[in-house]
Structure 1
Amino acid sequence: MNLTSKVAVVTGSSSGVGAATARLLASKGCHVVINYSNSSDAAQKVALDCQHFGVETLVCQADVSDDDACKGLAAKAIAKWGRIDILINNAGTTKFVPHHQLDGLDKNDFFALYGVNVVGPYQMLRACEFALRASGDAAVVNVSSIAGVRGIGSSIAYAASKGALLTMTQSLARVMGPEIRVNAVCPGFIQGEWLEQGIGAENYQKIKNSLEESAPLKKTCTAESVAESIVNFVEGHSIVTGQHIILDGGQSLM
């Protein structure tokens, strides 16, 4: 896919992987919808970064677990550009609870995580489906996690939600063709403030060092390296749908 003048919706793009993906798409000539739930100032900063590449942006507040908000986000993009060619379902949430502490999670935690991590991507694709099909060569990339493949990560609820997102990626890929490709990326440890704050600075550094020592590529993900793989699914892989790729420096091989 030639990204020049295409339109991409990137959920959760005020920081981290979403922001890096928005910037990379913009650098390739793609107009971008910057979505945030709370961080308006950060979203505006990302929009300015994207505009430096000569593209247009649209900053939209929306909680993807809210169906009406998803419909409104898609409608605003279509009203501005008349099209949507790319959907990156990056918005996500978690609760940090050690897996052995079963009392640390209740049904409301599961509902909250599934609402953003699983229902949100479904609602966003549904809201964008008409425009994506009209594009004729559209791409959807869901940001899952190694947690969804291996049952690890910040909590059992998080791992379960990301596993469900991978299953849903396959289901949607079967019915969205031939106009829309649906794939997923599964990052491992991603360097950044979000994870460091979640697990604590000391634990963050210890885990990062351990993974980088043992992984065949001796590295862990950055927001930019994950964005690179997301955009590769968008502009390449024209024959691929319903697949996921693990991004962990080869750590899962060990």
Structure 2
Amino acid sequence: MAANDFAGWTVVVTGASTGLGRAIAVETAQRGAALVVVNYASSADDAAETARQCEAAGAKAVLVQGDVGEDADCIRIAEAAAPSGRIDALFNNAGVTKFAPNHADLDAVTADDFMRLYRVNVIGAYQMVRACRSLLEAAPQPGAVVNTASIAGVTGIGSSVPYAASKGAMTTLTLSLARALAPRIRVNAICPGFIDTPWFGKGMPEASVDRLRAGAAAATPLKVASTAEDIAASAVFLGSTASRHITGETLLVDAGSHLGYAPMGMR
């Protein structure tokens, strides 16, 4: 991929205040994006830092607070890109979870948990594509949508049953929209495994986070704990013209951790 392959582009990244979303936004700016729309739900200071880093890389950054689970907010996020007359790449990265790692404890999650996760992780991505559709179609090349799913949605592991289920639904959503929106819009997804960001250690003491990090690295064939920047590179690839003949694909970006899981036979 060329270092300036996003030159002049307009990019929208949801959930971009920290972690993977920030890494995606900053990398697109470093690769020449002219406008980066930085969406965040509540972390205004963190989002401002993402915008600062994008602008340091040469892009104009626009901050838009909004919950992608609300259709009106999705429309506002899309409208922030409207002055450029196009959206070249939309990264649906916003997501939430409920931490209930013992999947056998069926009382650990409720119907409300399922509804909250699906509202953001699945419906939010759908609403963002709908809100951005005309601007994606206005891009000189087919507009690119990159959904952040998860290895949890492929193998049924992860922070909770509703989280895994929502990410599985997101991969199916990717297939449906890739068919429906071709040829003017490409739709792909990445499925990260462990990412070494504060999100994975929420509510945990530092010693536990260290053990989690070490365990994640030991469990992967590549023996690494992926950083946000490691994963962002694959997302940005799917958003770029280097992947111009790829649509409806789900790319596992997990340092090979899926190789230990029998459910991969379904692929």
The TM-score bracket by the shorter chain reads over 0.9
Match of 2:68 in 1: 64
**Partner residue of 1:53 out of 49, 53, 57:** 57
In the TM superposition, what is the alpha-carbon distance from 1:215 to its structure 2 partner?
A: 1.8
**Partner residue of 1:15 out of 9, 14, 18:** 18
Structure 2 counterpart SS, 1:50:
helix
In the TM superposition, what is the alpha-carbon distance from 1:200 to its structure 2 partner?
A: 4.8
Match of 2:244 in 1: 238
- Partner amino acid, structure 1, of 2:256: G
Structure 1 counterpart SS, 2:243:
coil
Match of 1:83 in 2: 86
* Cα distance in 1, alignment partners of residues 158 and 257 from structure 2: 14
Structure 2: segments with no counterpart, 5+ residues? 261-267
* Cα distance in 2, alignment partners of residues 209 and 40 from structure 1: 31
Q: By percentage of residues, which structure has more helix? A: 1
Match of 2:28 in 1: 25
Match of 1:121 in 2: 125
**Partner residue of 1:205 out of 188, 210, 213:** 210
* Cα distance in 2, alignment partners of residues 32 and 137 from structure 1: 18
Q: 1:145 to 1:198 in 2, by over 3 A?
A: farther
Question: 1:108-165 CA distances to partner (integer Å, 9 max, x unpaired)?
Answer: 1100000000000000000000110111421100000000000000000000000000
**Partner residue of 2:153 out of 131, 148, 155:** 148
Structure 1 counterpart SS, 2:86:
coil
- Calculate the TM-score normalised by the size of structure 2: 0.91
In the TM superposition, what is the alpha-carbon distance from 1:214 to its structure 2 partner?
A: 3.5
CA contact (8 A) 2:214 2:225 kept: no
Greater displacement, 165-174 / 193-202: 193-202
Question: 1:32-60 CA distances to partner (integer Å, 9 max, x unpaired)?
Answer: 00100101111111111111122111100
Identity %: 45
> What is the number of residues matched between the two proteins?
253
Structure 2 counterpart SS, 1:211:
helix
Greater displacement, 198-207 / 123-132: 198-207
Alignment pair present for 1:187 and 2:181: no
In the TM superposition, what is the alpha-carbon distance from 1:216 to its structure 2 partner?
A: 1.6
Structure 1: segments with no counterpart, 5+ residues? none
- The CA RMSD over aligned residues, in Å, is 1.3
**Partner residue of 1:74 out of 66, 75, 78:** 78
- Partner amino acid, structure 2, of 1:237: S
In the TM superposition, what is the alpha-carbon distance from 1:221 to its structure 2 partner?
A: 1.6
Match of 1:229 in 2: 234
Runs of 4+ more than 3 Å apart = 198-204
Match of 2:265 in 1: none
Question: 1:75-102 CA distances to partner (integer Å, 9 max, x unpaired)?
Answer: 1210x32221110000000000121111
